[in-house]
Copies of this chain bind each other. A is one copy, B any other.
Amino acid sequence: MAKEITSRSENYSQWYNDLVVKADLAENSAVRGCMVIKPYGYAIWEKMQAELDRMFKETGHVNAYFPLFIPKSFFSKEASHVEGFAKECAVVTHYRLKNDPDGKGVIVDPDAKLEEELIVRPTSETIIWHTYKNWIQSWRDLPILINQWANVVRWEMRTRLFLRTAEFLWQEGHTAHATQAEAIEETFKMVNVYANFAEQFMALPVIKGHKSENERFAGALDTLCIEALMQDGKALQAGTSHFLGQNFAKAFDVQFANKEGKLEHVWATSWGVSTRLMGALIMAHSDDNGLVLPPKLAPFQVVIVPIYKSMEQLAEISAKVDAIIPLLKAKGISVKFDDNDAKKPGWKFAEYELKGVPVRLALGPRDIENGTVEVARRDNLSKEVVQLDGIENYVEALLEKIQQTIFNKALAFREEKTTKADTWEEFKDLLTNKGGFISAHWDGTPETEQKIKEETKATIRCIPLDAVEEEGKCIYSGKPSGRRVLFAVAY
């Protein structure tokens, strides 16, 4: 089964597509650019959602739900937002079908034309700030700390499963504050939540930073992001947190009476992560045999495969397994016992390797005799035979170790692939021959960034939060620069 996956060295992009499809994560649908998220893929997304939702609530946020549709006119209200956003999107113009008079199926009823077209939300700032106007009168109504889990649509021309799809699932936080300082604090708080989630659950090391002006969200004064490195040396933006200033409050006329009774415009943030995280998770850790999943996000963490010739042997093994499973579950470990007699152990081994199940336990007649079990790790494909007695403690510790090992491996890879460049030649050479993040000086102008992008496809992924103040010269223009920024070719 695993043989059907293209290897990474042969064609990384094809490897990714093969993996997503063969591991039953997602597939393309009948609708251009829209995907079907299959049960195994959705189970991973549900685990991500559950952890993120918990983290949002622990930081004081509540969930709500706003309409799928946004009146077209709303997009014109915030000038830079319309420039950056409202163009490639799905437009609803009619609200009824009718039978084709020719008897050939259904047609759009021309009499059912909407007075104003509705846009399927590409993001919800406009409809939410229109709503907040009625919710906010006084400083007592602030802050509003709301998150929404929703689907959004952006009519992308070139789509790829999870990474860039016309419809995708995401969460979008939209907060309203009385002061600039509080809104900025929220922006940082949420990028930290995203970074913690990526590192602790996805085992994905990320760099937190500011976006340059070119890469900023349409309507934001500052965009913070987390950037991760994939195995092909390309960067992937995994989450963003925007300080929106008073732009949307002004566009939608949202003012509050402060403690002195004076009217002020409200300060805003928005922040989001999407099913794109699935793409990051897959690309960061997996190998030519299939998925490698961090234990904390695996739909099941342990699979038990019986090795037997007779049904008698299977019965003996099953009895042992029935005793082990409750011990594992009591430790919060999710486990599947695959005693399907229609499939051979070899097929099962390949299948669960492909699916990225972190730990495989194999039990044969000799194990039953010896009181042992074969434990295989998916991350490094190592195997060892251990005592069955106390296996739950062994597996518990092993899952933690695997989680950490996957993270460490990705971190070591990123560190190896992060290089300083001090000249334009060096910069181009690194991009061509090494890839990864390039730490280089930049003169701070959008024009220079644009030229670098045109010549090399590399963009500024972020100005790291922990960037060191350092005198230098822009690798492109030679003009002075106060700190290095991170460049990369990105997804």
**Chain A to chain B contacts (Cβ below 8 Å), 24 pairs:** A30-B74, A30-B127, A30-B130, A31-B69, A38-B64, A39-B146, A65-B169, A68-B120, A68-B151, A68-B167, A69-B90, A69-B167, A72-B106, A72-B108, A76-B104, A87-B96, A87-B106, A89-B96, A91-B97, A92-B93, A92-B120, A97-B119, A108-B117, A140-B342
> A29 at the A/B interface (Cβ < 8 Å)?
yes
Closest residue on chain B to residue A146 by CB atoms = B39
Q: For the complex formed, measure the closest distance between the CB of A45 and the CB atoms of chain B, giving whole angstroms.
A: 8
Interface size class of A (residues with CB under 8 A): 35 or more
| CB-nearest residue of chain B to A117 | B108
Q: Is the CB of B97 within 8 A of A94?
A: no
A167 contact from B67, B74, B96, Cβ within 8 A? B67
Whole-angstrom distance between the Cβ of A474 and the nearest chain B Cβ: 34
Across the interface, name the chain B residue whose C-beta is closest to A65.
Answer: B37
A437 is an interface residue with CB less than 8 A from chain B: no
List 10 A-B pairs, minimum CB-CB distance, nearest first: A76-B105, A34-B67, A39-B62, A37-B65, A91-B94, A95-B155, A93-B93, A90-B92, A31-B67, A31-B69
Is A490 an interface residue when CB atoms closer than 8 A count as contact?
no
- Whether B106 contacts A82 by the Cβ 8 Å rule is yes
Distance of A164 from chain B, by nearest CB (Å): 15
Q: Are B87 and A98 in contact (CB under 8 A)?
A: yes
Interface-central residue, A93, A95, A104, A120, by most chain B CB under 10 Å: A95
User: In the complex, are the beta carbons of A91 and B92 less than 8 A apart?
Assistant: yes
Task: Verify if A46 is at the interface (C-beta below 8 Å from B).
Answer: yes
In the bound complex, do residue A88 and residue B93 qualify as a contact, i.e. CB atoms below 8 Å apart?
no
CB-based contact B87/A97 at 8 Å: yes
Known: A76-B106, A106-B86. A43 touches B71 (CB 8 A): no
A126 nearest in chain B by CB position: B30
Q: Bound complex: CA of A122 vs CA of B27, how far in Å?
A: 22
Cβ A64 vs Cβ B39 within 8 A: yes
Note all chain B residues with C-beta closer than 8 A to A91: 92-97, 108
Contact A97 B75 (CB under 8 A): yes
Residue interface bits A120-159, CB-to-B below 8 A is 1, else 0: 1000000100110010000010000010001101010000
Whether B86 and A95, one on each chain, are in contact in the complex, defined by CB atoms closer than 8 angstroms, is no
CB distance from A54 to the nearest CB of B (A): 12
Residue of B nearest to A128 (CB): B36
A362-B232 Cα distance, complex, nearest whole Å: 62
Closest B residue to A148 by beta carbon equals: B42
Q: Mark A282-321, 1 if CB is under 8 A from B, else 0.
A: 0000000000000000000000000000000000000000
Give chain A interface residues in 48-70, CB to chain B under 8 Å: 62-70
Question: With contacts A36-B66, A68-B151, A75-B105 known, what are 20 further pairs, Cβ within 8 A?
Answer: A30-B71, A31-B69, A36-B65, A37-B64, A37-B65, A38-B64, A39-B62, A39-B64, A39-B146, A42-B62, A42-B64, A42-B65, A68-B120, A68-B153, A72-B105, A75-B97, A75-B106, A86-B97, A93-B94, A96-B155
Q: Is A118 part of the contact surface with B, judged by Cβ < 8 Å?
A: yes
Q: Is A20 an interface position by the 8 A CB rule?
A: no
Q: Tell yes or no: A73 within 8 A of B by CB.
A: yes
Return the chain B residue nearest A134 by Cβ: B27
Residues of B contacting A452 in the complex (Cβ-Cβ under 8 angstroms):
none
Across the interface, which residues of B come within 8 angstroms of A86, CB to CB? 97, 106
A35 within 8 A of B: yes
Q: How far is the CA of A87 from the CA of B96 in the complex (A)?
A: 5
For residue A45, which residue of chain B has the nearest CB? Answer: B65
Please measure, in the bound complex, the distance between the C-alpha atom of A59 and the C-alpha atom of B114, giving whole angstroms.
43
Q: Enumerate chain B residues within 8 angstroms of A108, measured Cβ to Cβ.
A: 72, 91, 93, 117
